[in-house]
Each structure stands twice: as C-alpha cells, then as structure tokens.
Amino acid sequence: MEGARVERQPLVEMRSVYKAFGGVHALEDVTVDLYAGEVVGLVGHNGAGKSTLIKILSGVYGADSGRIFIDGQEVTIRNPRDARGHGIETIYQNLALADNLDAPANIFLGREIMRGISLNEDAMEAESRKVLNRLRISVPSLRESVLNLSGGQRQAVAIGRAIYFNARILIMDEPTAALGPQEARQVGELIKQLKGQGLGIFLISHDIHDVFDHADRISVLKTGRLVGTVRTAEVTKDDVLTMIIAGTLPGKTQGNAAVAGG
Amino acid sequence: MSVETTAPRQTPAEAPPPARFGRVNVFQRFAAWAGFDTRLMGMVAALAVIWVGFHLQTGLFLTPRNLWNLMVQSSVVGVMVGGMVLVIVARQIDLSVGSVLGFVGMVMAFMQVQVFPLEVWWNPLATILIGLSLGALIGAFHGYVVAYLEVPSFIVTLGSLLAFRGGAWLVTSGRTMAPLDTTYQIFGGGINGSIGATWSWVGGLAAIVILVWYFVSSRARRRKYGFTVRPLWGEFLVIAINVGFVAGFVQLMNSYPFPGTTVPRGLPVPVLMMLGLGILMSTVLRSTRFWRYVFAIGGNPEAARFSGIPTRRITLIVFVIMGVLAAIAGIIATARLNAGTNSAGELAELSVIAAAVIGGTSLSGGVGSIPGAMIGAVLMESLRNGMVLMDLPSALQNVVQGAVLVLAVWLDVVYQRYRRR
C-alpha cells in the first residue's frame, strides 16, 4: 500500500459494536476499521454478523452500543440518509435496484434532479451516462428498465449510484455472487479503480478466492464476535478458513484492534 | 447482450442508439421511432376492431348518439381508473371503490335533499366539498391501516366493500333521495350536462396547443442534451396524428344534437372530467417525484426504503387519491341518475380493476399505464354497450366480459414473454 501510513487515521472505525435481536446476539464487541484506498474483506459463516455490521454502518439498523468514527470524528447514524450524508454508500447483495425503472431512475432514486416540481429526466440521463462512462461500462440504451440489463451492467448501475454521490466509503455485499466469470472480472476492475480514487471499501463475500483477489485486509467474524483482522499478504487461504471455521488465529495476525504499521 | 468495458471510442451521447430491433417487426419499429407505446397502439386497434365489429352487427354502434352515450357511460369507471392504476402499481389493491362510491354518493344526495335547501347556488358546491372530503377521509383510513398498521390492503378494502355498502343503506334506511339539485345534475351528462360546440372546440384547441408545445419543447430539450431527434418530417407526422385524434374526437362529440334541433351538445361534463383527470395524471403528475416513488415502491419496496423514500406516507397518499376519485365517480353517478341510491356503484371495483389490468397494469406491481387503463375502461364499456344493442341477455354479457378480461390478460402475458426473448 502507499507509504506514510503510520500517522494516518482510519476512514471509518466501528468500535465495540453490540447488537442483539431479541435474545440473539448478532454482534458482540466487534471492532473493525477501514483506511482510504484500501479494501477490507468481511468474512464468516452465515449468521456470523457481517450483514448486521454493515447495516449498522449504513443506517438500516441502530447498534445497541458501540461507537462509529469517520475521519477520527465520532458520528451518529440513525437512518440511511444519515449514512449517505457521511459519504457511506451501500451496494446490496440483490443490488437494491427497482427492476421496473430505468438506469437513471435507479441511480438517482431518492435524490432526483428536479426542474421545479418535475423530474428532470434528461439531466439525469446525461449525468448517468457520464458516471457509467467513468466506470467504463457501456449501456446502449439508458431508457430501458434495468431488468433487461446483464448482471455486470446492473452491478455498474448500483456502483454508479454510489459513486455519483461522492461516496467515500463503499460497502459491497456479495458483489459477484450472481455474476459469471467475465463479469466478476469487470467488477474486480471497478474495485481497483475505486481504490485508486481513494475510496475505502468494505467487501463482504462468501468466496474466499474473491476476497483474496481484492482485499488488502480481512476481518473474520464468527457467531457475532471478531476472530481477528489479518493482512491478506501475510496469510494463506487456509489460515483464513481456520479462522472462519474454528475461530482461532493463525500465528501472524494484528489482533483485535487494527493498528497502522506491519 | 454483451457488456463492454473497453473505453468507448466515441462519446455515447453522440452515437445513435444501436439498432436493438432484432426480433421486432415493422409496426413496433414505427411505434418506437414515433414515440408511441406499442401496447397502447395495440389497444386502440383492438378498440377499433370491436367498434367496427359491433357496427357491422347492429348498424347502430358507430352513430354520434351512441358514441356520445358510450363516453358518458365510461366516465364513472374512467375517473377512478387512474387511481386504481396507482394503487395496483404500489402493490396494493382497493376492492372498496364501488361501495365507497355508493356511500359517498348517498351522503351527498342526503345532504343535498334533506339538509341543504335545494336550488340555492351553494348547494352543489357544499355537497361536492363534503363528498370529496369524505372520500379523502375514507382513503386516508384505508391508507393508514394498510401502511402503518400493516393490514393487507385486500382485507382492509374487502371489509370496506361490505361495510360501506351497508353504510349506504343506513344513511337513509334504504330510501332513494331524489330529485337532486338541477345545477348538480350537470355533472351527470344528459340534457344540461354538456358544454356545447363552442366550448368543446375551445377545449380541443387548448389541447392541440398543449400537444404541439409538448412536442416542440421536448425536441428542443433533447437536442440540448445531445440526444437523437426525429427528422423534421417525422416530427410533423407524429404531431399531425395526435392532433387528428383530438380534432376527430371533438368533432364526434359535436355531432350529437339536442333532441329535435341541430344544436350540437358538445363534450359531456363527465367526459370532460374523465379526460381532464386522465390528462393530468398522465402528464403533470407523471413527472413528479411522488409518481416515481410509487413505481419504485411497486418495483422493489426494499430498494425504495433503502433509498430513503417515505414508503408508508406515499402508500397512504395513494389511497387518499383513490378515495377522492371514488367520490368524484359518486358525483357523476348520482348526478346521472338524478338520485342517490344505495346500490350505486355495485361491483364497480371489478370494472375498474379490469380496465386497469387490460390497460397494462400488472397485478404484481411496478408496472402500469393510465392512458392504457382509460382505453381499457372505454373498451369494457364498448363491449357492454354493443351487447346491449345486440339485445343479448345481461347474464350472457357478464360471461362475455369475464372471458374478454381473461383473454386480454393472457394476451398481455404472451406479449411480454415475446418481448423478452
């Protein structure tokens, strides 16, 4: 990664987060952080708490206790609007696209460009073209419903929605789950581009190979607790699998509180 | 469909949209180029077939008198159809509109005849205000129970269907309230209920001016953003076709004279209301954020919620709109009958839903068209009208209408499947 990291603050830090649903402890004392320009993978079994953690960050749930820091400042996130106000954008597993609407409508959903009381559809179409060009994805006709687009194009629309509004923190929940190999590679390219632009990305994935391809660091959750956070370059896939399944740390890790430096 | 991630060689905004018309025939090409909705065009064609067919059978269908009456008959359902499209698009349903129409109509008639003095200038005004408020209140009640208490709309409105039908009887213990205020009767069409030839042409010309302005400004805007535009002759052709429809319709309405004279009646007031509401909902309202949010909720309620859209408030407003439209239908129905009866609007909800569905509104939500639904209303009414002219027993009429509804939706299913191949 880039040098001079020792003094850098994390872009996002979630500290000692607790969340229970009824009697079920979804998250217990989980601490993770994310620096600008890096990808942190969140892995673990189903029910390990990955989705819950990122839904707290994106404002869908409220944590029972714990603190969230952005650029070192503590923030309160009560709903999705608060989250987006802090530059946190989420790309959900099912892409959270309205299939009956076209690409510009989806990109601007909830944040439409208006002309008086009317929707300025032409402006939204033009801006959508620009952002999709930035992603180097070609969508021939922007006026058809996204249902008719390929998986990679739909993914681009979801990502386009996030970056148009100047996301600084991107949460990607299983981005390649429904994609074929070629499209998955495209998404990988997009992730690299976004990293290069200084975004921080939380990447949730079941696919250990995917995570190793894209993530700089990996935080492993098991039944609501953080097993540990490791640097991808310093561990093997088997190490991480051991963390996921057995909940034990391999020899070389950073432990619970991620700190700058080797 | 292939995806390219290589940098495009030219700015996509300059390139013409590539011809994706693989399996599309010449009609669909023309429709797409002209900006017409293929499905809508198909419905107009079906309507034409039905009209010509009935005329060949009876010789009476395509007369100005019959068509004039047909339009008036369509208007009770026609004013409600836009609201029902919104309701169904939002993944809800409203089974109560017929009963609400009857109940509100009854209350209005009661107020007009028993409470207010008849024939004072403010009687119709007060009556209508009460009716609209009552409709809005009932709609708000539905919307609240559905959106905030999370009771399924099918159940809520089914309960209302029963309750308000009973309520309509209870208002006057079943007595019919008649006759109504003569000014109020204007809203029902009939002898005093049309606006005459001059005003019809005024309205038609206004519509034509708006149409032309729309096409011109839309073209200018598209050029400003660098999108492709039709060639000039194509623009003229499209404008001419639309203007032709408007002018033809006005002329038709002006061809039905008062009895024993040659004075044309012009547009009936209920038809004016139906068209006015339809146009309002298809143009001004359609480009609001509210409209888009309703469709977003219908397409993916979760995505709408995650985008910060106030889904519950919007659902409530949708039901309020439906309630108000049912009240307006009640105005037309009672004014036409010149009486408040407790059976007004019986089973109207079925016609409204059928019209919406025939017009292309999908019961699974997210997809709907108001112009289509209005043509659907006219289509259903044309069937009934034609079968009456043919002297078919009403039981058989019901059989035919049911069969046509199923056939129309099946054709739509096939059409959608074909489009997606």
Q: What is the pLDDT of residues B300-309, one digit of tens each?
A: 998 898 888 9
B192: left (phi over 0), alpha (psi -120 to 50) or beta: alpha
Using CB atoms, pick whichever of A81, A100, A125 lies closest to residue B298.
A100
Task: HSE, CB side, 13 Å, CA atoms: give it for residue A251.
Answer: 3
pLDDT range class, residue B299, cuts 50, 70, 90: very high
Q: Residues of A with CB below 8 A from B7's CB?
A: 136
Chain A stretch 200-239, residues whose beta carbon is closer than 8 A to a beta carbon of chain B? none
B243 vs B320: which has the higher pLDDT: B320
Question: Does the beta carbon of A148 lie under 8 angstroms from any beta carbon of chain B?
Answer: yes
Name the minimum distance, in Å, from the CA of B31 to any CA of chain A. 15
Reference B141, options B396, B324, B11; nearest CA is: B324
Contact A168, A9 (CB under 8 A): no
How many of the other CB atoms lie within 10 Å of CB of A245? 12
Q: How many residues does chain A have?
A: 262
Task: HSE, CB side, 13 Å, CA atoms: give it for residue B251.
Answer: 6
Look at residue A210 in the predicted model and tell me its pLDDT: 87
Q: Going by C-beta distance under 8 Å and a sequence separation of 6 or more, which residues neighbour residue A90?
A: A54, A58, A83, A96, A162, A170, A171, A173, B306
Note the pLDDT tens digit of each residue in B62-98: 988 899 999 999 999 999 999 999 999 999 999 999 9
Distance CA B144, CA B398 (A): 35
Look at residue B15 in the predicted model and tell me its pLDDT: 37
Q: Residues of A with CB below 8 A from B5's CB?
A: 136-138, 152, 186, 189
B228 vs A51: which has the higher pLDDT: A51
Task: HSE, CB side, 13 Å, CA atoms: give it for residue A169.
Answer: 22
Contact A184, A176 (CB under 8 A): yes
Residue type, B267: L
pLDDT range class, residue B18, cuts 50, 70, 90: very low
Look at residue A57 in the predicted model and tell me its pLDDT: 93
User: Under DSSP, is residue B290 helix (H, G, I), strand (E, B) or coil?
Assistant: helix
Q: Going by C-beta distance under 8 Å and a sequence separation of 6 or more, which residues neighbour residue B202?
A: none
Look at residue A48 in the predicted model and tell me its pLDDT: 84
Q: Residues of B with CB below 8 A from A60's CB?
A: 306
Which position has the token pair 């002898």? B191
Note the pLDDT tens digit of each residue in A180-223: 787 778 788 888 888 888 899 999 988 888 899 899 999 999 99
User: Which residue out of A101, A143, A185 would a mutagenesis test of the B interface target, given it has the greatest number of B Cβ atoms within 10 Å?
Assistant: A101
Contact B382, B69 (CB under 8 A): no
Look at residue B154 in the predicted model and tell me its pLDDT: 96
Cross-chain Cβ contact B300/A110 below 8 Å:
no
Note the pLDDT tens digit of each residue in A12-37: 999 999 999 888 888 999 999 999 99
Count CB pairs under 8 A between chains A and B: 113
- The average confidence (pLDDT) of chain B is 86
B287, two tokens: 């480009």
Average pLDDT over residues B405-410: 86
- pLDDT beyond 60 at B131: yes
A5 vs B355: which has the higher pLDDT: B355
Using CB atoms, pick whichever of A100, A112, A133 lies closest to residue B366.
A100
Interface pTM, i.e. ipTM: 0.80
- pLDDT beyond 70 at B24: no
Look at residue B2 in the predicted model and tell me its pLDDT: 37
Reference A31, options A254, A248, A262; nearest CA is: A254
Look at residue A251 in the predicted model and tell me its pLDDT: 66
Reference A118, options B168, B124, B292; nearest CA is: B292
Question: Does the beta carbon of A180 lie under 8 angstroms from any beta carbon of chain B?
Answer: no
pLDDT range class, residue B12, cuts 50, 70, 90: very low
**Cα A62 to Cα A91, A224, B68, B92, distances in angstroms:** 19, 16, 61, 29
- pLDDT beyond 70 at A136: yes
- The average confidence (pLDDT) of chain A is 85
Percentage of chain B beyond pLDDT 90 is 47
Spell out the alpha helix ranges (H) of B122-195.
Answer: 123-147, 153-172
Note the pLDDT tens digit of each residue in B242-270: 889 889 889 888 888 888 888 888 889 99
Look at residue A231 in the predicted model and tell me its pLDDT: 93
User: Under DSSP, is residue A65 helix (H, G, I), strand (E, B) or coil?
Assistant: strand
Long-range contacts of A208-213, Cβ-Cβ distance < 8 Å, separation of 24 or more: A208/A43, A208/A237, A208/A240, A208/A241, A209/A237, A210/A176, A210/A184, A211/A41, A211/A43, A211/A240, A212/A237, A212/A240, A213/A188
Among the residue ranges A166-170, B12-16, B63-67, the one predicted with the least confidence is: B12-16
Contact A80, A59 (CB under 8 A): yes
Look at residue B6 in the predicted model and tell me its pLDDT: 40
Average pLDDT over residues A123-137: 86
Look at residue A4 in the predicted model and tell me its pLDDT: 47
Among the residue ranges A193-207, B155-169, B216-230, the one predicted with the least confidence is: B216-230
User: Under DSSP, is residue B330 helix (H, G, I), strand (E, B) or coil?
Assistant: helix
B114 vs B133: which has the higher pLDDT: B133
Look at residue B136 in the predicted model and tell me its pLDDT: 98
User: Which residue out of A51, A78, A109 would a mutagenesis test of the B interface target, given it has the greatest number of B Cβ atoms within 10 Å?
Assistant: A109
Cross-chain Cβ contact B300/A96 below 8 Å:
yes
- pLDDT beyond 70 at B188: yes
Average pLDDT over residues A57-76: 90
pLDDT range class, residue B14, cuts 50, 70, 90: very low
Among the residue ranges A84-93, A229-238, B137-146, the one predicted with the least confidence is: A84-93
First to last CA, chain A: 11
Average pLDDT over residues B366-381: 92
Look at residue B5 in the predicted model and tell me its pLDDT: 40
Look at residue B420 in the predicted model and tell me its pLDDT: 63
Q: Going by C-beta distance under 8 Å and a sequence separation of 6 or more, which residues neighbour residue B191?
A: B258
**Cα B93 to Cα B90, B104, B136, B158, B295, distances in angstroms:** 8, 20, 17, 10, 14
Residue type, B128: I
**Cα A199 to Cα A71, A176, B130, distances in angstroms:** 13, 19, 57
A62 vs A251: which has the higher pLDDT: A62
pLDDT range class, residue B16, cuts 50, 70, 90: very low
B219, two tokens: 């073209």
- pLDDT beyond 70 at A261: no
A151 vs A56: which has the higher pLDDT: A56
A142, two tokens: 């922007």
Q: Give the Cα-Cα-Cα angle A6, A8, A10 (nearest 5 degrees).
A: 125
Q: Going by C-beta distance under 8 Å and a sequence separation of 6 or more, which residues neighbour residue B175?
A: none
